[in-house]
Amino acid sequence: MDIKNITKEHSAHLIEVFSAIQGEGLNVGTRQIFIRFALCDLRCHFCDSAHTWKIPAICKIEHTPGLRDFQNYSNPVTLEKLLVWIHQQNAPFIHDSISLTGGEPLIHAPFLIQFLPQVRELTELPIYLETAGHRPEQLTQLIPYLNLVGMDMKLPSVSGENYWQAHKEFLQLCYESKLEVFVKIIVSENTELIDLQTAGEIVGSINPYIPVFLQPVTPLDTATGSINQNMMLPPSPEQILTWQVLMKEFVKQVRVIPQTHKMLNQL
Ligand code: SF4
């Protein structure tokens, strides 16, 4: 599939728009309007959003913030329509920010360049980008419109993906642009020390004060909510305690936080 030919300036392929409590990273516990974009060019083993890999014929738009009273609309959606839906979601005193998530939102950079200045003006909410952090070229175009970036650094032993050089360029770009950024690293019982060391060296070489979140993989079957023994398992307490100390050789702030939205049974 040629992604370049399906990303447009004035329309985007979405999965859903909804209001929820952020369960990961620096914004954990805050309320966000989530815009989940379709498509991802990676195939992480632990992916809990594999339904985003293809473009669905319809996207789901929540009518009342947090109530999951979704209505279906055809893809792609126009920029104007999305602005109207965000305006409806943005009831007073509810939201702290807007989360661009996926899939990989940066695939939709041509659309976001048009959309972000308008949605910022409309809502006055900060914009948070959740990304795999491997597309520095697209990030460059969006920097003026972003407030916070959560970069998901992929460890080859956990995700099956290897993007060290792209991660380095991406994080360097965030830092040099003075864009607030944190790094999230999914860890499992199979995580290899050499991968954590490489990740720590990359972050520490750019700035040791960039916050790093070690996030134990969630072994839940998203369809049933139960533990599926065939899925990747989280690290033991001994592993995670050891890894936190190891990472602190390179970076100053290393927090261990599992996905809290799944503890809340928040869909
Ligand atoms: S980058 Fe995110 S959406 Fe894409 S495969 Fe990996 S976990 Fe899934």
Q: What is the pLDDT of residues 227-256, one digit of tens each?
A: 555 578 999 999 999 999 999 999 999 999
Nearest to 56 by CA among 42, 76, 71: 76
Handedness of CA 91, 97, 101, 107 (dihedral sign): positive
CA of 183 to the centre of ligand 1 (A): 15
Across the range 128-133, mean pLDDT stands at 98
Give the rounded percent of residues in the chain with a pLDDT score beyond 70: 93
- Cβ of 43 below 6 Å from ligand 1: yes
List the single range of 55-64, 133-142, 230-239 with lowest mean pLDDT: 230-239
Give the rounded percent of residues in the chain with a pLDDT score beyond 90: 82
| Structural domains of the chain, ranges and CATH numbers in brackets | 3-263 (3.20.20.70)
CA of 40 to the centre of ligand 1 (A): 6
Nearest to 184 by CA among 118, 234, 132: 132
For residue 50, what are the contacts with CB-CB under 8 A and spacing of at least 6?
A: none
CA of 92 to the centre of ligand 1 (A): 32
Nearest to 38 by CA among 87, 68, 64, 1: 1
- Cβ of 49 below 6 Å from ligand 1: yes
Q: What is the pLDDT of residues 109-128, one digit of tens each?
A: 999 999 999 999 999 999 99
Q: What's the rounded Cα separation, in Å, for the pair 108 and 131?
A: 12
Q: What's the rounded Cα separation, in Å, for the pair 63 and 88?
A: 8
Query: Tokens representing 161?
Result: 């993906």
Q: What is the pLDDT of residues 4-43, one digit of tens each?
A: 556 677 999 999 999 999 999 999 999 999 999 999 999 9
